[in-house]
Amino acid sequence: MKDLGDRAMTTYKIVTIDDSSVIRKIVNKAFQPFDCCVSEAENGAEGLVVIYREKPDLIILDLTMPVMNGIEMLEKIKADPSVKDIPVIMLTAESSKDVVVQIIKLGVKDYISKPFQSDQLMERVKKYLALEEKKVSQFFIKDNDIDILVFPDKMSTHAVTEIKEQLNTSIKEGAKKIITDMSKDDVLNSSAIQLIGFILNSCKKAQIKPIVIAKALVAKELKEYEETASAITCLTLDEAKKSYES
């Protein structure tokens, strides 16, 4: 197991090996919010090539595959000193005691029975990797299907330009939920009002429901300006996320 404190803001390499494109897609999607690079293979033989090329931090391996199955591949991995210490999470539709004992003896760190949910997979993964949320830019964070804009401490021209550019990019890429976090701000200034107005207007054109996290007094002040009067405000991130569920 990796020391979860020995790497900060690291792009982890993940290899997922499964003959099912659906399962590979589920694995890929599960890692999207995090700073990870996922490589794929559809059988054990291809998987070995990818593993030797990438030297990944984690392998997610299917048990039953054509050409070379998961057990055969696992035996080859554990026999090679250059890759034997890479943690392996096994995916299996077979949960019999004999199968579980066999893969554990071969050094599998963990296993998941199919079918499974993404959050079940990530619970296992986080035992071995200190995952970091992927930053879209200096001011944007991707949280599953939500783009979170963290308001800058200083509203410089450069910061405003970058935020506007990234907002436009996120919208073009299909963003559906955008939260602006200005919870650190105690007062509004003209630059903040103009930027919030730009965000609200851009989201309106794209038919996106934007939410602003702000302190009560700031939220009240937003309602007093024409550019920002339509802002939907929440006090916390959790509250903002829940508002998308209603």
Q: What is the pLDDT of residues 107-119, one digit of tens each?
A: 888 888 888 888 8
The single-letter DSSP state of residue 235 is: S
Q: Which of 72, 181, 52, 217 is nearest to 61 (CA)?
A: 72
CB 37 within 8 A of CB 31: no
What backbone torsions phi and psi does residue 186 show, to the nearest 5 degrees?
Answer: -95, -25
* CA torsion angle 80 129 137 167 (round to 10): 110
Confidence grade of residue 152 (pLDDT, cut at 50, 70, 90):
confident
Which of 47-51, 154-158, 223-227 comes out lowest in average pLDDT? 154-158
Residue 3: the pLDDT is 42
Domains assigned to the chain: 12-125 (3.40.50.2300), 140-245 (3.30.750.24)
What sign for the dihedral angle of Cα 15, 19, 25, 30?
negative
pTM of the model: 0.55
User: What is the share, in percent, of the chain residues with pLDDT greater than 90?
Assistant: 61
Q: What is the pLDDT of residues 63-72, one digit of tens each?
A: 888 899 888 9
Helical pair 21-31 and 118-125, crossing angle rounded to 10 deg: 60
**107: alpha, beta or left, given left = phi > 0 and alpha = psi -120 to 50?**
left
Rg (CA), the chain: 23
